[in-house]
Chain A
Amino acid sequence: MLSRSSLSRNAPRALSAGRRAMASAANPTFQYDVSEAAGVKVANREVNGATGTLALVAKAGSRYQPFPGFSDALEKFAFKSTLKRSALRITREVELLGGEISSTHSRENVVLRAKFLANDLPYFTELLAEVASQTKFSDHELNEVVTQLLKYQQQAVYSNPETVAIDAAHGVAFHRGLGSPITPSQTTPYEKYLSGDALAQFAQDAYAKSNVALVATGPNSADVSKWVGQFFKDLPTGSSSSQYKVQPSVASKYFGGEQRIPSKTGNAVVIAFPGSSAFGTAGYKAEASVLAALLGGESSIKWTPGFSLLSKATQGFSFLNVSTKNHSYSDAGLFTVTLTGAADQIASASKNVVDALKKAAAGEVASEDIKKAAALAKFRALESVQTLETGLEATGSGLVHGGKAYQIGEIAQAIEAVSEEQVKEVAKSFLSGKATLVSVGDVHQLPYAEDLGLSA
């Protein structure tokens, strides 16, 4: 057991951890080397170990799709039959090599991922190149496989009130572009736009050399450029003039407003404000991520509500889950507070959320808490870059959108530099500006923006 005195001796040391420079800033293995091979941007990071990963990040997420459902379909067409191999053969070959392939899409990117034993790097580089440039997009695969998968995806997404609310919040906040739903809802007439030909034309542009980036980690990632140079030569150069091309990126504009969606699947309320864009872009505000950690809601430690304002403010509610997040994109961000749980508890707790925000804006927060929040924000930012799932996409996204990969050391410095005054300012700007409020579920009980004292 720790004695009281030892705790009090160590606590200040923990809080002043900021004075120590990040070890990784000097350590080259955490940095991505950015190069270009065959006209494709490649970022690679040397990591010792027996396995490697390779991801192809294409700027073709739901923000850039010409019609609803295109990004979903493109994602689900990954690793389907190509001109050289059938989908079945790809699956069996990957199984034999003991690798793992997957594809996902977000609002901005379609990501193809491969994880494999380090020796198989050439095979998987070739596979990704083949998928990007030679997928057949046959109509029967679209009808027999892809649309079926898309239907399951829709069911999964739209049976969760939280994802519905977050999606709707993006729609209300950004309208088109970033606001377009990440997966079309079941009632969206998207089928009429989808066809093999249309998707092939979309893919031509989506997987064009200027539109993709490759991110690799592994022991022999230095070879990546060589293999990419060899296999990615045949990638389309893009910009066909069809109506199915990747939509040009229009600068995101924040609108804000209110939306109420009746649903029987559960209750969720999202209170959102214009947040910080991704690191390395003009709209990056480190203080937004600190404020997100300060408001929090979910404890990072077991059996304690933690230091965050919202977890303290909602301690009395047992059927309630609160979380705060800054969704960052290449030119905008959305700062969301999400409440899920019982409708009556959400209704009363959402008032506490606004009160907590007011407290932060008035500067009535202990400076210790802000330090804790900064430490947590720093940890989260660094962890998300280091974790493969999120890190690969973040790095590739940085490359395709701004030509710059994430560099870990710089994020840490940016967050360390945040002052209490900045956190206060950003909270103030949230309250004075137009908010976004989305209520999903039992709208009879869920609050309106006016009830909360927000202008939406």
Chain B
Amino acid sequence: MSAPSFANYIVKRPLLKRWMTPIANWYTDAAGYRRLGLKFDDLIPEESEVVQKAIKRLPPKEAYDRVFRIRRAFQCSISHTLLPPNEQIKPSEDVEYLSPIIREIEKENKEREDLDNLVVRK
């Protein structure tokens, strides 16, 4: 969320995107969180009001699964093990489930700020 990202720059350029995608995929896999059974959105720091609100807005099933994955990863971490390969998160399962809600809340906040600083010219 906070580190500077070239992602947008790269995605906009098809050639660059074609080169970078395999590297990015390799990198994400090498990061290892999928082997602990986590999705990328589980790694978003939740110590902020926006993310807290987003977590509250998750559908009940999603919220349950999220807690389950985090607890499972915690256990793995304590016991210094990885999950068996069939339980690890596959790249196809590693989809955004929280980020869209976060973006929506950020949009709401921005809109509120904009409207609060509105100047009416007549």
Contact surface of A with B, Cβ cutoff 8 Å: 86, 88-89, 92, 96, 139-140, 143
Contacts and interface: CB of A to CB of B under 8 A. Distances in A.
3 nearest A-B residue pairs (beta carbon) = A140-B57, A92-B115, A88-B112
Contacts of A89: 111, 115
Nearest to B54: A140
A96 B57 contact: no
Given A92-B115, A96-B120, A86 B59 contact: no
Interface in B34-70: 56-57, 59
B53 to A, nearest CB: 9
A261 B13 CA distance: 72
Given A92-B118, A96-B120, A86 B57 contact: no
Contacts of A139: 57, 59
Contacts of A88: 108, 111-112, 115
B119 to A, nearest CB: 11
Contacts of A140: 56-57
16 contacts: A86-B108, A86-B111, A88-B108, A88-B111, A88-B112, A88-B115, A89-B111, A89-B115, A92-B115, A92-B118, A96-B120, A139-B57, A139-B59, A140-B56, A140-B57, A143-B57
A20 B50 CA distance: 68
A282 B59 CA distance: 49
Nearest to A96: B120
A140 B56 CA distance: 9
A89 B59 CA distance: 26
Nearest to A93: B115
Given A139-B57, A143-B57, 8 more contacts: A86-B108, A86-B111, A88-B108, A88-B111, A88-B115, A89-B111, A89-B115, A92-B115
Interface size of B as a range = under 10
A86 B115 CA distance: 12
Greatest chain B CB density within 10 A among A86, A89, A96, A140 is at: A140
A89 B115 CA distance: 8
A140 B112 CA distance: 17
A88 B111 CA distance: 8
Interface in B96-114: 108, 111-112
A86 B110 CA distance: 12
Nearest to B105: A140
A123 to B, nearest CB: 15
A139 B120 CA distance: 33
Contacts of B118: 92
B28 to A, nearest CB: 29
Contacts of B59: 139
A88 B115 CA distance: 9
A191 B56 CA distance: 18
Nearest to A81: B108
Nearest to B120: A96
A143 B58 CA distance: 11
Contacts of B115: 88-89, 92
Contacts of B112: 88
A96 B111 CA distance: 16
B121 to A, nearest CB: 12
Contacts of A143: 57
A88 B118 CA distance: 13
Nearest to A95: B115
A84 to B, nearest CB: 13
Contacts of B56: 140
Nearest to B101: A140
A143 B56 CA distance: 10
A194 B101 CA distance: 21
A89 B111 CA distance: 8
A86 B108 CA distance: 8
A378 to B, nearest CB: 47
Nearest to A141: B57
A152 B118 CA distance: 32
A395 to B, nearest CB: 35
A36 B115 CA distance: 37
B118 to A, nearest CB: 7
A143 B108 CA distance: 17
B87 to A, nearest CB: 30
A138 to B, nearest CB: 9
A88 B112 CA distance: 7
Greatest chain A CB density within 10 A among B56, B59, B115, B120 is at: B115
B5 to A, nearest CB: 27
A89 B120 CA distance: 14
A360 to B, nearest CB: 59
A238 B111 CA distance: 33
A88 B110 CA distance: 12
